[in-house]
Amino acid sequence: MALRRHKVPADLGEHRIFGDEEAAAMRAELDELRNSFGALSERVNAQFTSIAAHAEIAREQISVVREEARADMERTREMLIGLIETVRSEAAGLHVAGAVPGASAASAHERAAGVEAAVASLQGSVEELASRQMRMGDTMAAFIDTMLAETRGEPVAGLSLG
C-alpha cells in the first residue's frame, strides 16, 4: 500500500493551522480600543472628581465669606453705635461761642442730628455692601451647582445647557 499525500491548497490563509490573521488583527485592534476607552474613562472620572472637589471647596469658601461678612457688618454696626453714643455724651456738655453760657442745646442737637444722619448713611452703605456680598455668594453657589449639573449631564431648572 502506498501512502497517499493530500494535496495542500496554494492559499495558506485558508489553512486551519495558521488561523485567521484578519480576525486576530481585529481582536488586537479591539483590545487596543478597549484599553484606550478604559484610560479615557479613568481620566474623565478623575476630572469629574477634581471638579467636584473644587466645587465643594468653593461652597465652603462661600459659607466662610458669608460668615465673615456678617461678623464684619456686626462689628461695623457696634462701632457706629459706639460713635453715636460718644457724640451724644460729648454734645451734652458742648458750648458754642457766642451763645449764652452753658451748653447750647439747639446747636448740640443740630450737630448730633447731622452726625446721626451721616452715620445712618454709612450704616445703609454697609448694609447694602453686605447684601451685595450675599447676592454674590448666592450667584457663585448657583454657578457652581450649574457647572456640576452640566458635567454630570443633569438638567438644570430653567436653563438650557447645550
Residue 147 lies in a domain: yes
Name 36's Cβ contacts closer than 8 Å, sequence gap at least 6. none
Work out the pLDDT band at 24, boundaries 50, 70, 90.
Answer: confident
Query: What is the pLDDT at residue 149?
Result: 78
| Domains contained in the chain, number | 1
* Dihedral over alpha carbons 112, 72, 133, 57 (to 10 degrees): 180
Given a cut of 60, is residue 26 above it in pLDDT? yes
Nearest to 141 by CA among 54, 62, 35, 33: 62
Residue 81 lies in a domain: yes
Tell if the pTM clears 0.75, that is, is over it: no
Which cell numbers in the block locate residue 128? Answer: 447694602
Q: Which helix (H) or strand (E) holds 51?
A: helix 21-92
Residue 137 lies in a domain: yes
**Can you give the residue range of the structural domain that contains 57?**
22-152
In whole angstroms, what is the distance from residue 144 CA to residue 152 CA? 12
Residue 105 lies in a domain: yes
